[in-house]
Amino acid sequence: MSDDEEQAAVERCLRGESRAFETIVDSYQRVLYNVALRMVNDRDDAQDVVQSAFVKAYEKLHTYDRRRKLFSWIYRITVNECLDHMARRRRQVPMEEDEPGPGPDHALEEREVETLIGAALLDLSVDYRGVIILRHFVHLSHREMSRVLEISEKTVKSRLHTARKLLGELLAKRGVSRA
């Protein structure tokens, strides 16, 4: 969806045409679901989070500053929903102990990689987790990430570098030395 089409959809929603929101949902449901999934590491929870985020975005659409990118705004809402969700989950369920890693000589299956990365991501701060998700799972360029996160490209690069370094250390702790 181009910026103009996006703004037209926002305009129609604000005029009361709720069906125009379909365009926004269709454009962003996949990317936001993947963001939420990697943030909360659970498919059902990710679905709940994305639904809440979209509904909140619709209800607060009149507060959206149109000089910003719509995705940037919805992404921020989704991340906040993820944080709220994780805070609620921490209150309800004691965090599980880390599972032991696969050992240095073990060839990792796809499923194991996903589990290991999912668990390690949860140990990163939200800012670091966010850049990893946007770069590696949503495949945004540094420039696009800079626009979405509203930080400079230099900060994007620096944050990515630190995030990967921490992730490498977390994976090493779990016994991963080679993929």
Partner 1 sequence: MRDDEFDRLVNDELDGVATPEQKAELARRLAEGESARARYQEIQTVFGMLDRIESVDPPPSLRGSVLRAVESRARARSERGGWRDLLASGFGKRPGLGLGYAFAVGAVVGALILALGSGLFNRAGLPGAEMQGALLPPSGSRVDTVHLAAKGARATGEMWTEANGGVSVRLEVRSDVPFEAHVKFNPEIYIPVSLRRVEPSGGRFDLRRGELQVSDQGSARFELRLRAVSASRPPLGVWIGTSGGNAEGQLKPLPPNWNQSR
DSSP collapsed to 3 states, 111-144: HHHHHHHHHHHHCCCHHHHHHHHHHHHCCCCHHH
Query: Can residue 16 be called a binding residue for partner 1 (CB under 8 A)?
Result: yes
**Chain centre distance of CA 83:** 11
Query: Can residue 78 be called a binding residue for partner 1 (CB under 8 A)?
Result: no
Query: Can residue 152 be called a binding residue for partner 1 (CB under 8 A)?
Result: no
Query: Can residue 40 be called a binding residue for partner 1 (CB under 8 A)?
Result: no
Backbone angles phi, psi at 45, to 5 degrees: -65, -40
Q: Which stretch binds partner 1 (CB under 8 A): 45-53, 73-81, 93-101, 123-131?
A: 45-53
Query: Can residue 100 be called a binding residue for partner 1 (CB under 8 A)?
Result: no
Q: Could you tell me which residues come within 8 angstroms of residue 167 by beta carbon, excluding any fewer than 6 positions away?
A: 117, 120, 121, 124, 128, 132
Residue numbers at the binding site for partner 1 (CB under 8 A)? 16, 18, 21-22, 25-26, 29-30, 33-34, 37, 43-44, 47-48, 50-52, 54-55, 58-59, 108, 110, 113-114, 116-117, 132, 135-138, 142, 157, 160-161, 164-165, 167-168, 171, 176-179
